[in-house]
Structure 1
Amino acid sequence: MASTFMAKPVSYLNILNNLGIADCLIGCDSSQMQQLAEEWYSELLQLSASGTKLKIILAERQPERFLAGFIAACAANFPVFLCNPDWGTQEWQQVFDLVQPDIIWGDLNKLNLSRPSSASSPLSPPPPHSPLIMIPTGGSSGKIKFAIHTWNTLMASVQGFKEYFQLNYINSFCVLPLYHVSGLMQFMRSFTTGGKLAILPFKALEAGQIYDIEISDFFISLVPTQLKRLLQNPSLTKWISQFQTVMLGGAPAWDELLEKARFHQIRLAPTYGMTETASQIATLKPDDFLNGKVNSGQILPHAQITICNQKGEILNCNQPGNITIQAQSLALGYYPKIWDKQDSFSVDDVGFLDAQGYLNILGRNSDKIISGGENIYPAEVESTIRATQMVDDICVIGVPDKHWGQVLTAIYIPKASYTSLEIKTAIQDKLCKFKIPKYWISVSTLPRNSQGKINRQQLQKLVQEGLSMK
């Protein structure tokens, strides 16, 4: 069925009934979705008679409306920008200035935004025939950008997933936002393979709402903070342990969380991927996880990874270096620029491939802290601090220092009434001296987005305020 979609995307609406969409969607009004998709598709066909492909912003809150808009835009081959309806005015103004949309699906009337005239330059070179799908990324850095995908790049990811897990159809239980690549790809996997798709907001799940369905044949995708919350509830812990596979990605997971999941026999599948690769390109299979492996797993069939040094030379197994990705699911660029080189993508992550081909991630180059000439990856320090069970959350960064270049600073949410001195004492025999944070800033909450990633701009404000009081 996947080949049908790749060859002729305009056929989606014609085969909705053949897919049995009413039986595929759980927790949504499928008839409303189908009706809206047909209405919007017809409207777009009339607009396309002029030969102009108008740019669509899709910011619908209701899953039915979001999916209807997505299907209609792709079927009509209109460029569609997937957006978070909860972005603030400043973020939406960024989007409007960048996209200069012609059509907006979603209620943005309450926002006081200036609407620039729609006179943006077209993509250069011209876009391919496959519908352009712009997926947001980079929000945690404070600046939103859109990775340019097509139906074909997303389908390459679906095909790689199917082959890796040796499946004919994929059932998904989606608690992540559909505008995000991790939510959208769950829809794509189920919709294009004839699987079922259950949609439930995570807050509703956390409150105890679950569907009466057989979940042992379902995949669910979570970020680490979501898994942590579910494991704090015994009934939800039992529920999550019944899934065929629990994909875990979006942010690094810490050892304590992984051990707890393994203790409860959660069929966890830690993943490595990003918006630019249309979700995961490496995944640790659940059996490997339950048998004690701790890494990002093997590379999916549609992708390749090479590890290079700073000179660009390919390194052998177990040698850490910079990660370069080749994948059929790679984005074409960041809107509005199409990349000149599309056959590979060099990322900011440092890692290595072991002798069995498993990917091990050490950290991000940009997160690396150099203190007194020593390289420090925050993930290792954060994991060690979490293992003390004295903090609810932790983020370690480097702040400029005249003597050391950078010094480690821990921004943390203490558990109970633990002091920074008690935490430092607990880790002093587990880390080298230069890896123990010099500054400790206690906060009530850390600025994380829905995928569990830290908002660096807001974090810097917390650090400045915290250090000014020392």
Structure 2
Amino acid sequence: DPSTHLNSSHYSLTSLTPTQLENILTKDFTPSSSITILVGGAPISPGLEEKLSTTGLRFIETYGMTETASHIALREVGKDSLFKAQDGVVLSVIEDCLSVSIPELGLNVLTHDIVEFTNHRFKLLGRSDDVINSGGVKIHPVLIEPLIAVSLASAGINRAFYLSKKPNTVFGEITVLVIEGEAIQDSSYLLELLKRDIPAYMHPKELVFVDQIQFTETGKVIRKSIS
């Protein structure tokens, strides 16, 4: 149990995934205030970030990839909204995707991560293969899902979900909200609620209910397109 070890004063630095942190925060979590916790393996959700910001501890979200063998950019949770590259790492954007270069290692990697790039810092918007192109408008699920979470919570729905896409003859693709659990008998009110709370071209046009949403070992949602 990671929480048992973290409550010891012997540790000043550790690394956890968002899923591990979600589980730890439900327990008696009282680590030393001097500890720094690196968070990686999956993005930190807005809900988790809010929880972490109230602990009084220092959390550093990391960005890395298999090719670099470690993280190449960092941001401090609750203080920085953008990732900053570490020394020796050169970042750029090619067709909206993040390009990473480490000249000293002769390494150049073009990722599938779409970013918002400002003064050599970046914000993750999602994966290029997750983008929903609806009527010529590119919709990034990671930006819409926090709004959906608020709408679902207001309706008393606390379930796992993700925004997916479905082919459409008129728009090319439409947004579909995949929700874990039993189908809601009269879900039309939920679609109306989402339509009210989310911009017209982004709100889910259909709902799909599944028995279980699958996650990777690090807590990333395994997104599946709807046929």
Q: TM-score range by the shorter chain?
A: 0.7 to 0.9
Cα distance per residue 1:400-452 (max 9 Å; x no partner): 1112111111112369x897545445443442112111121223421112111
Matches within 5 A, 1:85-164: none
**Shift of the alpha carbon at 1:302?**
3.2
Q: Contact conserved, 2:194 with 2:204, CA < 8 A, in 1? A: no
- Structure 1 counterpart of 2:22: 228
Correspondent of 1:379 among 119, 123, 142: 142
Runs of 5+ consecutive residues of structure 2 not aligned to the other structure: none
- Distance in 2 (CA, whole Å) between partners of 1:350 and 1:272 is 13
- Distance in 1 (CA, whole Å) between partners of 2:44 and 2:113 is 15
1:255 has 2:49 as partner: no
- Distance in 1 (CA, whole Å) between partners of 2:115 and 2:130 is 13
Q: Contact conserved, 1:391 with 1:414, CA < 8 A, in 2? A: no
Q: Contact conserved, 1:282 with 1:299, CA < 8 A, in 2? A: yes
Cα distance per residue 1:288-326 (max 9 Å; x no partner): x333x323x211113111123x3xxxxxxxxxx321101
Higher RCO by CA contacts (8 Å cutoff, separation 6 or greater): 2
Percent identity between matched residues is: 22
Q: Contact conserved, 1:353 with 1:359, CA < 8 A, in 2? A: yes
Q: Per the alignment, do residues 322 and 412 of structure 1 end up closer, same or farther by CA in structure 2, a change over 3 Å counting?
A: same
Cα distance per residue 1:214-236 (max 9 Å; x no partner): 255122222x2222222233x13
1:354 has 2:92 as partner: no
Correspondent of 1:268 among 36, 40, 59: 59
Alignment-mate amino acid for residue 257 of structure 1: L
Alignment-mate amino acid for residue 383 of structure 1: P
1:428 has 2:222 as partner: no
Q: Contact conserved, 1:305 with 1:326, CA < 8 A, in 2? A: yes
- Structure 2 counterpart of 1:300: 86
Alignment-mate amino acid for residue 206 of structure 2: Y
Q: Which has the higher helix share?
A: 1
Matches within 5 A, 1:66-465: 204-205=1-2, 209-210=4-5, 213-222=8-17, 224-233=18-27, 235-236=28-29, 238-239=30-31, 242=33, 244-285=35-76, 289-291=77-79, 293-295=80-82, 297-308=83-94, 310=95, 321-327=96-102, 343-355=107-119, 357-388=120-151, 389=153, 390-413=157-180, 420-421=187-188, 423-456=190-223, 459=224, 463=226
Question: Larger C-alpha radius of gyration, 1 or 2?
Answer: 1
Alignment-mate amino acid for residue 217 of structure 2: S
**Shift of the alpha carbon at 1:281?**
0.8
- When the two chains are superposed, the root-mean-square deviation of aligned CA atoms in Å is 2.9
Q: Which has the higher strand share?
A: 2
**How many residues were matched structurally?**
222
Q: Per the alignment, do residues 441 and 363 of structure 1 end up closer, same or farther by CA in structure 2, a change over 3 Å counting?
A: same
Q: Contact conserved, 1:252 with 1:379, CA < 8 A, in 2? A: no
Q: Per the alignment, do residues 264 and 372 of structure 1 end up closer, same or farther by CA in structure 2, a change over 3 Å counting?
A: same
**Shift of the alpha carbon at 1:359?**
1.9
**Shift of the alpha carbon at 1:377?**
0.5
SS at match of 2:130: coil
**Shift of the alpha carbon at 1:329?**
8.7
Runs of 5+ consecutive residues of structure 1 not aligned to the other structure: 1-203, 311-320, 331-341, 465-470
**Shift of the alpha carbon at 1:327?**
2.1
SS at match of 2:166: strand
Cα distance per residue 1:149-196 (max 9 Å; x no partner): xxxxxxxxxxxxxxxxxxxxxxxxxxxxxxxxxxxxxxxxxxxxxxxx
SS at match of 1:400: strand
SS at match of 2:129: coil
Cα distance per residue 1:121-157 (max 9 Å; x no partner): xxxxxxxxxxxxxxxxxxxxxxxxxxxxxxxxxxxxx
- Distance in 2 (CA, whole Å) between partners of 1:454 and 1:447 is 6
- Distance in 2 (CA, whole Å) between partners of 1:450 and 1:350 is 22
Q: Contact conserved, 1:348 with 1:364, CA < 8 A, in 2? A: yes
